[in-house]
Amino acid sequence: MERALRRAISLCEQARRCYQVGNYPGARRRYERAIAWYGRAGIGDQEVLAGLAAAWQNAGSCSYVLAEDREAYRCFRHALELHRRLEDLPAVATVLNNLGAVCVRLGRLKQARSYLERCRRVDEHLRDEAGLAVTLHNLARLAERAGEREAASALYEFSRGLFRDLGWDADARREEESLRRLRLETPGGDPGPV
């Protein structure tokens, strides 16, 4: 078990370095190999379970960046199950948000809304303003894609305020641009300052 665990951890570290330099296919391959090694290490131990959950989550992130959305969804579902077993609420929220984002790209808007609303409840429970800001942004994008302009505007407004409070200026500016775009696309909309 110890050899398998060391090998899995080493592969995850290699994968992390690949991801940092933009080698997403190489990172994903290493995460996939790490998942297999974690399986050999046995699932009973919390450390193994946590490592396996992170490897699935990171493999999903690689697949998402590579626009391999079905694979990203599969990986995130595995990660969600494991993070729930670990009762790791911050990680559960992150994976729910990721599942929501990938479902939007897959055109599964109802499913995306379900994941994102569940994430929102966890963020609020944890009082995680950063997580909530990101979740609200994703809910706004979902509402916009569904043609719900008023809901999208309200969500962008709320997330913009949170991003400003957090000092995340680039994110706040992105929300302002989204609000401007919505106003310009609305018949009779005012393109003035946000």
pLDDT at residue 41 in the model? 84
- Domain covering 1-87, topology: 1.25.40
Give pLDDT, residue 2. 86
Dist CA 43 CA 26 (whole Å): 25
The pLDDT of residue 187: 58
- pTM value? 0.87
Q: Report the CATH architecture of 89-194.
A: Alpha Horseshoe (1.25)
Written as six digits, the tokens of 157 are: 């407004």
Q: Domain locations in the chain?
A: 1-87, 89-194
Helix 109-126 / helix 129-145 crossing angle, nearest 10 deg: 160
Name the residue among 3, 70, 85 with its Cα closest to residue 11: 3
* CA distance linking residue 93 with residue 36, whole number of Å: 25
pLDDT of residue 191: 38
| Cβ-proximal residues to 34 (8 Å cutoff; 6+ apart), any chain | 7, 8, 9, 11, 12, 15, 51, 55
Tell me, rounded to whole angstroms, the distance of Cα 34 from its chain centroid: 21
Q: Dump the DSSP string for 10-64.
A: HHHHHHHHHHHTT-HHHHHHHHHHHHHHHHHH-SSSHHHHHHHHHHHHHHHHHHH
Residues of the chain falling short of pLDDT 70: 1, 43, 186-194
Domain pair 1-87 / 89-194, same fold = yes
* Chain segment 47-61, per-residue pLDDT in tens: 889 999 999 999 999
Q: Provide the pLDDT for residue 42.
A: 76
